[in-house]
Amino acid sequence: MSPGPGLRVALVHRVFAHVGGSELDLIQVGRSLANQGHEVHVHCARYRSPPEPWFHAHRLRDSRLGRLVRYRRLLASAREVADAGYDVVVGFGRTLGQDLYRCEGGTHLDYLEVVGRLAGKPVRPSLYDRMILDVERRLFTTEAPFKVVSLSGLVRDEIHRVYGFPKERIEVVTNGVDLERFHPRNRARDRAAVRGELGIPATATAVLFVGIGWDRKGLGPILEAVAARPAHHLVVAGRDREEGRIQALAANLGVAGRAHFVGARTDVERHYAAADVLALASFQEAFGNVVLEALASGVPVVVTRSVGASELLRGPLADGIVPGDATPTAVGEALDRVATRAAVADLGAFSRSAAEPHGIEAMGARMDALVRDVAAEKRAARSAQARFF
């Protein structure tokens, strides 16, 4: 329990659900704040998972008339939450009127540039994109919150570069990882069993990929890098609309027998236990929770510098950073560096040590301190405004 009385805190997002990066982050942050003694109110337009005892549920206005109308109603509802008398309003998406913005991704402007790079031609922003860009500009300029929380230094620097938002008002607070669920001891329990289920020899190198958005996360180059290494197997956990194309690529590369597609998993910790390395070759990734899960499980990682969590890789773990573009050659060389390093160093212990400062309790303590700081800043601003008038 944190010092001082609890605050009335509102969390605002489009959807409440137990799937999705920002949705799961809202749950993690909200539970942590409730455990710190705060009265937590969740305001969402849609509840795809039922409300839970740790918060008071409120429904924002929604629409079935398309995403433009839906977004306009979300913005209007979020304004009403801002005027509802909460001590602090925490936003998990691009809305206005929030006191503390937990920025789950990078800027939409940079996202469109990445999409264009993947498509091989510039993206022409849709009307919906232009609305998001307008709200994002106001969010970081004329209608900025007291503070912004970014998941990585990568995102902090991007916000500052694109919009000039002061770095001193951006706090880097990573997501928290469940250090008990994701633990090296799972290897003794699950490693041999999972490898047996998938037909991966004990002497093979198992490369794990976890997530959706396979193109953006570089699954193609990872698959090609694995194909060039006969002793490697690839395990893909997750679903994606590109699954058929990626499976066809595996067949064309002659590695269908070494590429294992296990679907979305609720027991993904078992697959970390079976893995020798996690690979995430994203073109844009604000953080990458799977990196923390792998490290907590004692599994080294191969990641591009475009992954925010690459900032956690220091010492021997830095061998896993792909320095430039996520080409099959570059990814393969990083896999080789990790294998070479693993032969002379206990990368499992280094990995676990890198994850331990980022548990859920540590994240909750940081968010509790930030919420209290923002509440005090908000009270001071209101007092100054009252004196002025």
The packing angle between helices 347-355 and 289-296, to 10°, is: 120
Residue 389 predicted with pLDDT over 60:
no
**Placement of tokens 């109110």 in the chain:** 41
Which amino acid appears at position 345 of this protein? A
Q: Which two tokens stand for residue 34?
A: 């409730």
- Summary mean pLDDT of the chain: 93
197 lies in the same domain as 300: yes
Instruction: Identify the CA nearest to 56 among candidates 70, 72, 71, 38.
Output: 38
Q: In sequence order, what E strands does 8-116 have?
A: 8-16, 39-47, 56-59, 88-91, 100-103
Tell me the mean pLDDT in the region 202-217: 94
Whether residue 166 sits in one domain with residue 270: no
Question: CA angle 242-337-294, nearest 5°?
Answer: 55
Element (H, E) at 199: none
Judged by average pLDDT, the poorest of 62-66, 257-261, 278-282 is 62-66
Domain count, the chain: 2
In this predicted structure, the answer to whether residue 190 has a pLDDT above a threshold of 90 is: yes
- The DSSP element (H or E) to which 1 belongs, if any, is none
Q: Which two tokens stand for residue 9?
A: 């805190």
19 or 262: whose pLDDT is higher? 262
For residue 3, being part of any structural domain is answered with no
Shared domain check, 333 and 196: yes
387 confidence band (pLDDT: 50, 70, 90): low
Asked whether residue 66 is domain-assigned, the answer is yes
Are 118 and 262 within one domain?
A: no
Least confident of 2-16, 124-138, 313-327: 2-16
The answer to whether residue 89 sits within a structural domain is: yes
d(CA 58, CA 156): 31
Q: Are residues 195 and 148 in the same domain?
A: no
For residue 382, the model assigns a pLDDT of 77
The pLDDT value recorded for residue 3 is: 62
- Do 232 and 336 lie in a common domain? yes
- Please indicate, yes or no, whether residues 29 and 156 belong to a single structural domain of this protein: yes
**Residue-wise burial string across 197-226, b where 16 or more C-beta atoms lie within 10 A, e elsewhere:** eeebeeebbbbbbbbbbbbbbbbbbbbbbb
Portion of the chain with pLDDT greater than 90, in percent: 82
Nearest to 348 by CA among 277, 289, 300, 292: 300
CA 320/CA 108 separation, integer angstroms:
28
Pick the closest to residue 103 from 31, 210, 13 (CA basis).
13
Q: Higher-confidence residue: 387 or 313?
A: 313
Strand order in the sheet with 277-280: 259-263, 232-237, 205-210, 277-280, 301-304, 321-322
| 21 within 8 A of 57, measured Cβ to Cβ | no
Q: What is the pTM of this model?
A: 0.91
Q: Which domain does 210 fall in, by range? A: 186-357
One domain for residues 219 and 101: no
pLDDT mean over 314-331: 95
Q: What is the pLDDT of residues 230-277, one digit of tens each?
A: 999 999 999 999 899 999 999 999 999 999 999 999 999 999 999 999
The verdict on 30 and 97 lying in the same domain is yes
Task: Specify whether 343 is located in the same domain as 366.
Answer: no
CA–CA distance from 182 to each of 295, 326, 380 (Å)? 9, 27, 42
Q: Are residues 262 and 364 located together in one domain of the fold?
A: no
Residue 45 pLDDT greater than 80, yes or no: yes
Beta bridge partners of 21: none
Per-residue tokens: 51? 């409300």
Asked if residue 132 is part of any domain, the answer here is yes
**H or E element in which residue 120 lies:** none
Token pair in block for residue 137: 């500009």
CATH number at residue 381: 3.40.50.2000
Q: Quick one: 204 and 158 in the same domain?
A: no
Task: Order across the sheet with 8-16: list the strands.
Answer: 56-59, 39-47, 8-16, 88-91, 100-103, 147-150, 170-172
DSSP 95: -
